[in-house]
Amino acid sequence: MSDIFLGNIKISTDSTDTEYKKVCDSLYEYNVRATNGVLKKPGKDINLYLKDDSGGVIGGVFCETWSYGLYIDVFWIADGYRNQGYGKAMITEVERLGKELGCIFARTCTFSYQAPEFYKHMGYEVFGVNDEYPDGIKQFFLKKKL
C-alpha cells in the first residue's frame, strides 16, 4: 500500500514496535479513563497448565480478567487427553479463580471446528455468531454468569 495523504497527515502501513506500542498503550489508557478504572478490575491473568506424569505440558488455559469479567483467551488440550474430563476440570477451576478475584461473568469465543458444544455443556450461552467465514465455518461468542 502506498501512503494516503490527508493534507499534512498520512495513513501508512510503515511502523516501528515503538509506534505499535504507543497506539495500544494509548487505547488502554483511554479505556481505563472512560471506565473510571473498572477496566483494570480485577486485572490479574489466570494461566493453568495440564501436565502429564513426566511434567510435559498436554494442555493449558490462559485467561485475562478485566471489567469484572473473566476472558478465556486460549484453551487447548492434546488430542489423546480430550473427552476425559480434563477440560471440564480446567474450566471449572478458572471460573472458580475468576469468581474468587471478583469476576461476575466469563466469556470466550470459539469456532465451529473447535469447542462450541463443550462450552454450551459447561453452561455458556451463545450471544453472537459470525457466519461470514468461508466453507461454513462459524465463530461463536459465548458468556456465562459466575
Domain boundaries along the sequence of the chain = 4-34, 39-145
pLDDT at 5 over 90: no
- The mean pLDDT value for 56-68 works out to 98
Band the pLDDT of 128: cuts 50, 70, 90: very high
CB 63 within 8 A of CB 72: yes
User: 3-state class of 23 per DSSP?
Assistant: helix
- At residue 50's C-alpha, the angle toward residues 47 and 51, to 5°, is 130
Partner residues linked to 95 by β-bridges: none
CATH number for region 39-145: 3.40.630.30
74: its cell numbers: 486460549
